[in-house]
């Protein structure tokens, strides 16, 4: 039925375009449609991509043993990489900390927490791991010191609250945590900061502490998973899609016959892909965080990538911000660096819309936008970033963007017809293996 | 199983609270738990609320015949109330407009559009309809006039684009529409404005034109519906919930055994309700737009209310902004006034968190926030609004807020325990029929 729908759409598109006045760009864009090979041939390309991704995941997993060895548990390691832990493991880590504090008090030495530094100067990018991590550098937070007594108390309180949340098997937000003891915390930035300290102290991710962020991502396509025990079939989620759950540890039973994951920057493009049921023509999982990626969507993408070993292709705007979004998915953001191992999805391919596409697809001049001074500044900064520098193709594209001083949104492709994205642009990209 | 889960949670809550140091507010809050009658008794209350709502919907439907009579089709009516129309009806309205233009041209008079004014001065609140509507006042937009030639061209182009979208049976965003002819439209505010004109000219809602807004709402609970033909069971949507579809006309087959709809301002409270499966204890449909209501969520709520005839209870922050959000759901916003009939859900009950709850539930002082000058200004403006004035209870609450100059978030209830909201506060509210 979806095949039928698609053909009907294509026929209508043909009719619509033939009734248009001939314009150079539009007719060239339409001529690209004839370059499309049969879907079976494009699918063969995608199948080899998927199997290559599965085998490279294996070899990379062997190379990236630092994270697997859980260095957080090893105080002699020079880096802190926090890891996902189950509730009972986190609970026993808290118990060990509290027991140590109690022993210290009983022996007359009072108590003190050893808190890892999360300062920017303490963050490094490890090329081997392709991630930002924390250098191990701890400071003491003694209770019997005027300067740190309050913070030590707050730390003890947060540990006890996290313990209670884990024992009850529920999830709460940072805001909930703050409101349980406003008098002590004063304002939310304090309980948030100590929560991050606790996460580093325990060597577990914030989601392992059952403190979750609000989700804004959605997913559709060839994916089945269980959300808190409910089986979700993402091919049957209509146009709206399934909201990505805020608590990743309630996600289980991930299954898929997709050949790739399509990561989309914006919800308008997501809606087009969902309505056209793009995933039925080219088996894929489509997800978006609707702009700046939130923690829940990043965790979800990583989980899909790790379990399904599928290639991830990204569709973002052709501007520095689009690339910045890719960098957050791939390398993490500076303020969550210690958690980067669990939030990042390395090896995302930049499918489009790339600066070189603007000329290649003859996107009309009036659909391109001039870059602002701020855009140019951000673009130049990105050229200095390690994750860009290590990919020659990305450097070239970024240089093209900065040279032409032009940017364009995914929606600019609508100038060739509302369904040009799903009917011509993406199929042709996939056919030509045009990702970098 | 959910009953079991709930009891386990309640037991854990008891244990947690007994281990706390006794504090006046907390122990009083806990004492309220003993006031709770068995669920069966609360359910009986809710059943009578639901049946009262169903019968009052009938009588109100009779009274509110203005909207039902589709005055947009009647040029002698003094108000414009646009209505939902199916694609074929919109298409034929466009055809009639274009045919009239063609005849006018052939008779040598050129062509001109009659465009209703959407100015604020042209908007009135009709108490009978409980809605903001447009006074019928049209201005001519002739093509053969230097001042209006460009706008007449844009109008013709938008009509033709909408026609193409409807013929293909797809949905597009405002941004997509803009990008199809950037050269003509110049910037998006122009195509957006003309789209609203076209909506008024044709007497149909923007969603009838298949131009949709991005969705950010989610829903869980006792609701089954079809999203683009896919059957969605919202009791099996885990903690994340189902994303509300952007295109309401693809929603069909709405079924529910819920007794009420619980409208939640924020996603943190939504998450708590979803994780605790509140809807299994008290059959309800829970939805949130995650803050300021978007068009898709408003359309969805209205659709649920109209089809299921269920009472709608709202859980918002105790601040002027919470009330402002209720007003958008109930009366529409000024800039979409002409569309208000199809976007608004009258008769929403204010369940909580109300200013009087702060003392009633002894919310600790440190969990209340002082109102800012801006808050107070907005609060005073709300006191002058018709939709507040006609509800004596709301006036009193708002006066309490302005007198005490205190506000509080839903999350403030977390100071009595993370699950106080779902285990004590809401059940007690429902038991005491404490909504206004």
DSSP string, A47-77: HHHHHHHHHHHHHHHHH-HHHHT-GGG-TTS
B351 lies in which domain range? Answer: 2-63+214-431
User: Is A18 domain-assigned?
Assistant: yes
User: Is A9 domain-assigned?
Assistant: yes
Shared domain for B227 and B148, answered yes or no, is: no
B385 pLDDT exceeds 60?
Answer: yes
Last residue of a domain, one of A178, A212, A246: A212
Shared domain for A262 and A345, answered yes or no, is: yes
Rounded CA separation A209/A295 (Å): 14
Last residue of a domain, one of B164, B184, B212: B212
Shared domain for B228 and B367, answered yes or no, is: yes
Shared domain for B177 and B232, answered yes or no, is: no
Q: Which of B311, B270, B307 is closest to B289 using CA atoms?
A: B270
B276 is in an annotated binding site: no
Residue ranges at the known binding site of A for Mg(2+): 265, 317
B165 pLDDT exceeds 80?
Answer: yes
B217 pLDDT exceeds 90?
Answer: yes
Q: B169 to chain A: which residues are within 8 Å by CB? A: 12
Domain total for chain B?
A: 2
Shared domain for A208 and A249, answered yes or no, is: no
Q: B215 to chain A: which residues are within 8 Å by CB? A: 240, 267
Tokens 């209501």 sit on residue: B293
Shared domain for B30 and B146, answered yes or no, is: no
**How far, in whole angstroms, is CA A159 from its chain's centroid?**
28
- The stretches in chain A having pLDDT less than 70 are 1-25, 57-76, 129-132, 334-341
Q: Kindly determine whether residue A414 and residue B180, on different chains, have CB atoms separated by under 8 Å.
A: yes
Shared domain for B246 and B383, answered yes or no, is: yes
- Please tell me the predicted confidence (pLDDT) of residue A131: 66
Shared domain for A227 and A261, answered yes or no, is: yes
Query: Is residue A223 a contact partner of residue A301, using CB atoms and an 8 Å limit?
Result: no
Average pLDDT over residues B368-389: 91
Which CATH number covers residue A167?
Answer: 1.10.10.10
User: Is B436 domain-assigned?
Assistant: no
Cβ–Cβ contact B427 with A under 8 A: no
- Please tell me the predicted confidence (pLDDT) of residue A136: 84
Shared domain for A186 and A317, answered yes or no, is: no
Which CATH number covers residue A227?
Answer: 3.40.1360.10
User: Is A69 domain-assigned?
Assistant: no
Is B179 a residue of the active site? yes
Query: Is residue B93 a contact partner of residue B204, using CB atoms and an 8 Å limit?
Result: yes
Interface test with B, best of A14, A227, A239, A264 (most B CBs within 10 A): A239
Instruction: Using DSSP, state whether B219 is helix, strand or coil.
Output: strand
Query: Is residue A71 a contact partner of residue A81, using CB atoms and an 8 Å limit?
Result: yes
* Pairing verdict, β B112-116 and B138-142: antiparallel
Instruction: Using DSSP, state whether A125 is helix, strand or coil.
Output: strand
Q: B238 to chain A: which residues are within 8 Å by CB? A: 226-230, 232, 245, 250
As a whole number of Å, the end-to-end CA separation of chain B is: 34
The interface predicted TM-score of the complex, written ipTM, equals 0.78
H or E segment at A249? Answer: none
Shared domain for A254 and A335, answered yes or no, is: yes
CB-based contacts of A369-372 (< 8 A; 24+ apart in sequence): A369/A406, A369/A407, A369/A408, A369/A409, A370/A405, A370/A406, A370/A407, A371/A319, A371/A320, A371/A401, A371/A402, A371/A405, A371/A406, A371/A407
Rounded CA separation A61/A53 (Å): 12
**Which of A76-80, A316-320, B107-111, B420-424 shows the lowest mean pLDDT across its residues?**
A76-80
B430 pLDDT exceeds 60?
Answer: yes
Shared domain for B345 and B199, answered yes or no, is: no
Shared domain for A190 and A329, answered yes or no, is: no
What does chain A come to in residues? 436
User: Is B139 domain-assigned?
Assistant: yes
Q: Kindly determine whether residue A409 and residue B179, on different chains, have CB atoms separated by under 8 Å.
A: yes
Q: Which of A311, A351, A393, A350 is closest to A46 using CA atoms?
A: A311
User: Is A68 domain-assigned?
Assistant: no
User: Is A372 domain-assigned?
Assistant: yes
Last residue of a domain, one of A185, A212, A239: A212
Q: Kindly determine whether residue A9 and residue B168, on different chains, have CB atoms separated by under 8 Å.
A: yes
- Please tell me the predicted confidence (pLDDT) of residue B386: 82
Query: CB burial class (10 A; 0-12, 13-18, 19+) of residue A240?
Result: buried
Residue A297 tokens, joined: 């969507």
User: Is B153 domain-assigned?
Assistant: yes
Q: Which of A323, A305, A145, A298 is closest to A216 using CA atoms?
A: A298
Tokens 């062997």 sit on residue: A62
- Please tell me the predicted confidence (pLDDT) of residue A295: 87
């Amino acid at each position: 039925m979806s095949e039928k729908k698609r053909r009907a759409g294509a026929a209508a598109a043909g009719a619509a375009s033939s009734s248009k006045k001939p314009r150079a760009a539009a007719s060239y864009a339409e001529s690209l449609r004839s370059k499309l090979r049969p879907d079976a041939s494009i699918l063969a390309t995608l199948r080899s991509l998927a199997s290559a991704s599965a085998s490279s995941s294996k070899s990379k997993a062997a190379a990236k043993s630092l994270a697997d060895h859980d260095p957080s548990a090893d105080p002699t390691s020079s880096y802190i990489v926090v890891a996902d832990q189950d509730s009972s493991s986190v609970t026993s880590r808290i118990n060990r900390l509290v027991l140590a504090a109690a022993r210290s008090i009983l022996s007359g030495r009072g108590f003190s927490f050893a808190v890892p530094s999360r300062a920017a100067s303490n963050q490094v990018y490890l090329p081997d791991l392709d991630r930002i991590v924390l250098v191990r550098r701890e400071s003491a937070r003694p209770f019997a010191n005027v300067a740190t007594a309050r913070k030590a108390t707050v730390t003890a309180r947060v540990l006890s609250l996290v313990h209670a949340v884990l024992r009850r098997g529920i999830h709460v937000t940072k805001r909930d945590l703050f409101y349980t003891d406003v008098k002590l915390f004063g304002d939310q930035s304090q309980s948030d900061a100590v929560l991050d300290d606790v996460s580093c102290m325990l060597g577990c991710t914030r989601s392992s502490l059952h403190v979750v962020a609000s989700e804004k991502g959605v997913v559709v396509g060839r994916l089945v998973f269980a959300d808190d025990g409910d089986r979700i079939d993402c091919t049957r989620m209509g146009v709206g899609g399934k909201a990505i759950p805020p608590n990743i540890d309630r996600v289980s039973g991930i299954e898929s016959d997709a050949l790739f994951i399509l990561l989309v920057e914006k919800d308008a493009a997501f809606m087009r892909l969902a309505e056209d049921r793009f995933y039925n023509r080219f088996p894929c999982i489509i997800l978006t965080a609707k702009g700046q990626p939130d923690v829940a969507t990043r965790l979800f993408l990583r989980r899909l990538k790790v379990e399904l070993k599928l290639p991830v292709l990204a569709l973002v705007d052709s501007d520095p911000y689009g690339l910045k979004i890719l960098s957050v998915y791939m390398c993490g953001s500076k303020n969550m660096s210690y958690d980067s191992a669990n939030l990042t999805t390395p090896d995302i391919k930049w499918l489009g819309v790339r600066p070189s596409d603007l000329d290649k697809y003859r996107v009309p001049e009036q659909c391109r936008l001039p870059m602002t001074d701020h855009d140019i500044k951000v673009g130049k900064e990105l050229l200095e970033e390690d994750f860009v520098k290590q990919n020659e193709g990305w450097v070239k594209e970024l240089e093209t963007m900065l040279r032409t001083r032009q940017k364009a949104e995914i929606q600019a492709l609508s100038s060739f017809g509302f369904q040009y994205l799903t009917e011509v642009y993406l199929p042709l990209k996939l056919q030509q293996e045009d990702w970098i």
